[in-house]
Amino acid sequence: MKSDDDNSLDSFLVLVGDFGKYQILIFTLVSFAVVLHSSIHTAYVFTALDISYRCAIPDCDTNPAEFEPSWLSNAVPYKGSTPTKCEKYIFNGNHTNINYGSCPFNAFDRNREIKCSSFVYRTEEKSILQEYDLQCDDNLWKLTMVGTINSIGQFFGLFIGGLISDRYGRKPVLIWGMVLSAICGISRAFMPTYNWFLFFEFLDATFGAGTYIVGFVLGVELVSPKKRVMTGIISSSCFAIGEIFTAGSAWAVKSWKPLIFILYSPIFLLISYHWLVPESVRWNLSRGHVEEAKMTLRRAAKFNGIELSESTLEKLALPTKDCPEDETGDFKTALKSKILSVRLVNCCFCWITCTFLFYGLTLNSVSLVAGNSYLDFILTALIEVPAYICCNFMLDLFGRKKSVSISYMVTGIACSAFLFVPPDSHAGSLSVYLIGKFGATAAFTNLYVITSEMFPTNLRHSFMGFCSTFGRLGCMIAPQTPLLAQIWKPLPVVCFSVMSVVAGLLTMLFPETSNIKLPDTIEEAENISSRVKELQEKEKAIIS
């Protein structure tokens, strides 16, 4: 029962059903948007796929050409057991004396190599590599640049999306950010040049960057403290589902253009959310839109079969008194707080580390199943699901900040273990890798939860967007870690391990936010630790 002195929104959310049928319906719709966001967020992995190919030997290849015929070593150089991609020996044989499908050793001058002008591909897969002629090592950077441009777009989009969300509402970013992203994403399939493709890749990532945080924040703001962890876990699991959907679709079509249409077309269904999904009640209250907040609570209570009197609803206006007008949406005012500023800097470092670990382990992992990049990707996404589920128990058992710290430490220990696994032990490497990815995933989820709980409502998305924006730095750095291996082979793993341990220690400086009312003002956010101590003292007094 809601007490008279408890005017918090959390108590109203419990009163209308906490996580009743209405909340389940809205959260399902939001989760669907998160799945769509995740699927397009990882699409570049397959649109810019580096496909296996070799030089075409017109005087010898059959039609259709076999990728690795018995005579191939006579015609092209090998690196170990793999034919080089872009070099071949000069053909010096008489064309009339050569049978297609059979080229003898003496038909080539093996002391001289030339670059290829045409290629034979191992599979029928199609990516932008063929579309824009990006073959060979001197063009390899153009494939990796797609992921970098995507991260740069998100770098700008996350912070901008956070500001728009906190000022104009969660719904506009959720709906129109995704729709504009879909328009730009589909436009990429029709771009005549690589540069135009990159331009629309950037716009796609910029417009869609804030969607996941909006979905996560909407889920958190929809329920009471006891259900916040559950909604966070489900949102994170939806991200993994989107990754699996992307890899499964890419595996089915094996061509980048059809893949784009499959992933982006469903996004236009989100236009219906303008009528189906309500604006965040908590955001409405923080902006003084009390009537809109009451309307949503009435709808929720009616849908859940609960009677909510108007006299009870009148008290909903009271929390806005705690939000001075000069604080509402004022990011600069919050930064004047030493406590919040230090917390924000610490949070940014932890986010950079988290994305560096998460994407580094995903994009630079060893092949889990030789020759099947789609299954590799699916396996790395699947390991995220048990990590998300485990977070539900971790957060309840250890609290917020200890759960984040433990997750980082697990990743650090697993990465260190790589140094001691024999190179020929596939089972050992796989096990340690999955443990590392498990820890990085758990850290990501737990960090989302605690970040969403230690900043004030009217600036919550702005702060999360700011942290996630800086987190993109880790995402940009992660694809470059193979360059560190050229200096010292274990160096990437050592970097993963060291940063994990440092971040694990720094997270212990965060305030504990378990089972507390979400802070609505800067003052409440500053005093989280003291409020937790008061709560603990009350619990001890009750027990005694």
Number of compact structural domains in the chain: 3
Residue 64 in any domain: the answer is yes
What gap in Å lies between CA 418 and CA 251, rounded to an integer?
A: 30
3-state secondary structure of 399: coil
One domain, residues 500 and 425: yes
In this structure, what is the dihedral angle of CA atoms 61, 64, 65, 68, given to the nearest 10 degrees? -140
Through-space distance between the first and last CA atoms of the chain, rounded to whole angstroms: 24
What does the pLDDT read at residue 538? 62
User: Which of 320, 300, 396 has the alpha carbon at shortest distance from 13?
Assistant: 300
Whether residues 302 and 418 fall in one domain: no
The whole-model pTM stands at 0.76
Q: For residues 380 and 95, what is the distance between their CA atoms, to the nearest angstrom?
A: 49
In a 13 Å sphere around the CA of 260, the CA atoms on its Cβ side amount to 23
Q: Determine how many CB atoms are found less than 10 A away from the CB of residue 90.
A: 12
pLDDT, position 62: 78
In a domain, 263, yes or no: yes
In a domain, 337, yes or no: yes
Residues 176 and 300 in one domain: yes
**Is residue 130 one of the residues assigned to a domain?**
no
Closest CA to 516 of 528, 526, 527: 528
Task: Please indicate, yes or no, if residue 129 is contained in any of the structural domains.
Answer: no
175 and 105 in a single domain? The answer is no
Report CA torsion sign: 78, 83, 88, 91.
positive
Of 295, 322, 349, which marks where a domain is finished?
322
Residue 505, pLDDT score: 94
DSSP class of residue 464?
H
- Among 288, 322, 356, give the residue marking a domain's end: 322
Task: Examine the domain organization and report whether 83 and 27 are in the same domain.
Answer: no
Cis peptide bond prior to 324, omega within 30° of 0: no
DSSP state of 136: S
On whether both 406 and 471 belong to a single domain, the answer is: yes
Phi-psi region of 51 (alpha: psi -120 to 50; beta: other; left: phi over 0): beta
Q: In terms of domains, do 405 and 513 share one? A: yes
314 plus 330 within the same structural domain: no
Provide the CATH number for the domain around residue 268: 1.20.1250.20
Q: Are residues 45 and 61 in the same domain?
A: no
Within a domain: 131: no
333 and 476 both lie in a single domain: yes
CA gyration radius, the chain: 27
Alpha helices (H) in 61-114, listed in sequence order: 72-75
Check residue 84 and report its DSSP letter.
-
The gap from C-alpha 274 to its chain's centroid, in whole angstroms, comes to: 25
Question: Does residue 91 sit within a domain?
Answer: yes
For residues 149 and 130, give the distance between their C-alpha atoms in angstroms, rounded to a whole number.
20
pLDDT at 279 (0 to 100)? 86
What residue numbers bound the domain in which 117 lies?
A: 53-122
> 3-state class of 83 per DSSP?
strand
DSSP classification of residue 118: S
Whether 334 maps to a domain, the answer reads: yes
Beta bridge partners of 63: none
Which of 73, 96, 122 is at the close of a domain?
122
Clarify whether residues 177 and 306 are in a common domain. Answer: yes
Within a 10 A sphere around the Cβ of 251, how many other Cβ atoms? Answer: 17
Same domain, yes or no: 458 and 426: yes
Q: What are the backbone angles phi and psi of residue 82, rounded to the nearest 5°?
A: -115, 130
**Whole-number pLDDT of residue 415:** 84
Q: What is the pLDDT tens value at each position of the chain, 544 positions in all?
A: 444 444 566 777 777 777 788 888 888 898 999 999 999 988 888 898 888 888 888 878 777 888 888 888 888 888 777 788 888 888 876 554 555 556 777 778 778 888 888 898 888 889 999 999 998 878 878 887 888 888 888 888 877 887 788 788 888 888 999 999 999 999 999 999 999 999 999 999 999 888 887 887 777 777 777 777 777 778 878 888 998 999 999 999 999 999 999 999 999 999 999 999 888 887 888 788 888 888 888 888 888 888 777 777 777 654 444 444 444 446 677 778 888 888 999 999 999 998 888 877 776 554 554 557 788 788 888 888 898 888 878 888 888 889 999 999 999 998 888 778 776 776 677 778 788 889 998 998 889 888 888 888 778 877 887 887 788 788 777 766 666 666 776 787 788 889 999 999 999 999 888 877 778 788 888 888 776 566 655 655 565 5
Task: Quote the longest CA-to-CA distance of the chain.
Answer: 100
